[in-house]
A and B are shown apart, each in its own frame.
Chain A
């Protein structure tokens, strides 16, 4: 297969069609509203037709992985919020699972249920931002306003549990930062109750809309084989018909006990990606409903592991137990020390398969943390999808891949 090339910006300084016809090299971004952040694309154009599109990333590189090496394991968790800023809880979970695997910590069932519930809410909120901005890029203004309405409701839930709307740092190593408040479940119920009808509303606006169909059906089609070769994951891969979902393939946090479907597409074009994500939101609502029922059945209980070497004791214990005081002091001054070794965990984040590779040298700080960021790897397929299409289609293509530049560059 010769089609599977990924050009770099340097490749395009020499236009591919030089001599045969006049082509133009054009910079799209980094400050372009439809690149969803600071993504620069070097385009080679023949009139309106894209001959080559090379993503140039790195404008948002903040050295998160390097910074994590100089912080203790607990403190490094805060950095993970800043990667994929539309899904901070998924990043928290991925990192926490990797460290927990390294330390072999048992997580109470109640904590796992809350984690699943929050991560699925996160998936809905992230998909809502994708839907709103994607429609906005194709000039469907009102979808954005509807999508933000429900996203606001979900962010209110995050604020309720963690105190922060975006940078939550709520899922911690060994459990959660603190227990969920009493009005958590009623708030979730209110959202889960209205969400299916709201998703119907979005679909009413777009699914059968002739302009939407004209702009998305058959645009940027990719077959399953090429998608796997480029390493696409998440909805972009499933739209091509490959039913790979980490929640089913290698379940974590008890996903194997929930009933849900993995929606797949057929053609791998923008429209299929849209349908897959919409169906995913409906499945997430189902999972949220199951998790809320379970949480109600479990009732009050622990919110962290009882292992005091990993998670601090409750404040009330510190006042009368010397051991608790020592544990608390040791954890916050020195941190815990996982055994020497490495662990890799991957989870299904809203953008695809998010992986975390942690290496421990036996000290209280991670020796190396590396994230497999689905946004960066999904971008490799862009050239293949955009080749031969119009510049206007490229705008739709970027939005349909749903990259978050904070995660691309880390």
Chain B
């Protein structure tokens, strides 16, 4: 299976959706417009010749200082043709929304929950977008670059009032 075939097919089918294509290290990677993600993934999944039936990996990256700030990386795998394609979608900081792939691939469920939990990227259309790794009452998204690699200040009698006033306690 050749990268070139898939690349040409995608470009013929969605000329306006593709923003960039890279074949670094021999891996096909395509950056898509956010609004076309669902259409492209559905087309790839249901393609009669090369169905990408397995969503292998979904996660996000926080490129702090770059606009748009967030990027969601999706690796689709065709189990019959043993070919992998990487799709990338970007989302700006003030509108971190990306369409959810869970209706197309149930396996995206936990991976999207994890990405939302740790990076704060909202997946529109996800059946139950809740925190998965962090506690439910956690404030913030710890994998973001502006979230400090935190340690907790130790409370002594001389500073406990100040610390407890800022500390988010679990709600009753």
With both beta carbons as reference points, the residue of chain B lying nearest to A54 in the complex is identified as B128
Given A57-B132, A58-B134, A344-B86: A372 and B57 interface contact (C-beta under 8 Å): yes
| Chain A residues with a Cβ closer than 8 Å to the other chain, count | 45
B133 engages A66 (CB within 8 Å): no
Given A66-B142, A376-B110: A231 and B54 interface contact (C-beta under 8 Å): yes
A342 to B74 Cα, complex, angstroms: 13
Q: Which of B53, B63, B142, B149 contacts A70 (CB 8 A)?
A: B149
A104 to B27 Cα, complex, angstroms: 13
B56-99 residues at the A interface, CB under 8 angstroms: 56-57, 59, 61-63, 73, 75, 79, 82, 84, 86
The interface residues of chain A, by DSSP majority, are classed as mixed
Given A61-B133, A359-B61, A380-B109: A231 and B55 interface contact (C-beta under 8 Å): yes
A333 to B113 Cα, complex, angstroms: 37
B130 engages A372 (CB within 8 Å): no
B43 at the interface (CB under 8 A from A): no
A344 to B22 Cα, complex, angstroms: 14
A65 engages B143 (CB within 8 Å): yes
Q: Which of B59, B132, B135 contacts A357 (CB 8 A)?
A: B59
Shortest distance between the CB of B143 and any CB in chain A (Å) = 6
Among A5, A10, A376, A377, the one with the most B-chain Cβ atoms within 10 Å of its Cβ is A377
Shortest distance between the CB of B60 and any CB in chain A (Å) = 8
A228 engages B54 (CB within 8 Å): yes
A251-295 residues at the B interface, CB under 8 angstroms: none
Given A228-B79, A230-B107, A377-B107: A357 and B54 interface contact (C-beta under 8 Å): no
- Contact-residue size bin, chain B (C-beta under 8 Å from the other chain): 35 or more
A154 to B146 Cα, complex, angstroms: 43
With both beta carbons as reference points, the residue of chain B lying nearest to A225 in the complex is identified as B53
The interface residues of chain B lying within 8 Å CB-to-CB of A8 are: 113, 128, 130
What sequence of 0s and 1s flags, for each residue 128-155 of chain B, a beta carbon within 8 Å of any chain A beta carbon? Answer: 1011111100000011000001000000
A344 engages B79 (CB within 8 Å): no
The interface residues of chain B lying within 8 Å CB-to-CB of A228 are: 53-54, 79
Shortest distance between the CB of B103 and any CB in chain A (Å) = 10
What sequence of 0s and 1s flags, for each residue 398-410 of chain A, a beta carbon within 8 Å of any chain B beta carbon? Answer: 0000000000011
Q: Which of A58, A231, A357 contacts B133 (CB 8 A)?
A: A58
The interface residues of chain A lying within 8 Å CB-to-CB of B27 are: 343-344
The interface residues of chain A lying within 8 Å CB-to-CB of B50 are: none
A142 at the interface (CB under 8 A from B): no
A279 to B145 Cα, complex, angstroms: 45
A contact residues vs B (CB 8 Å cutoff)? 4-8, 10-11, 57-58, 61, 63, 65-67, 69-70, 101, 104, 228-231, 242, 244, 249-250, 341-344, 346, 353, 355, 357, 359, 367-368, 370, 372, 376-377, 379-380, 409-410
Q: Which 3 A-B pairs have the closest CB atoms?
A: A231-B107, A58-B133, A4-B106
B contact residues vs A (CB 8 Å cutoff)? 24-25, 27, 53-57, 59, 61-63, 73, 75, 79, 82, 84, 86, 105-107, 109-111, 113-114, 118, 127-128, 130-135, 142-143, 149
7 extra interchain contacts, Cβ-Cβ under 8 A, other than A61-B133, A101-B25, A376-B114?
A: A6-B110, A6-B127, A8-B113, A230-B106, A231-B55, A242-B79, A367-B63
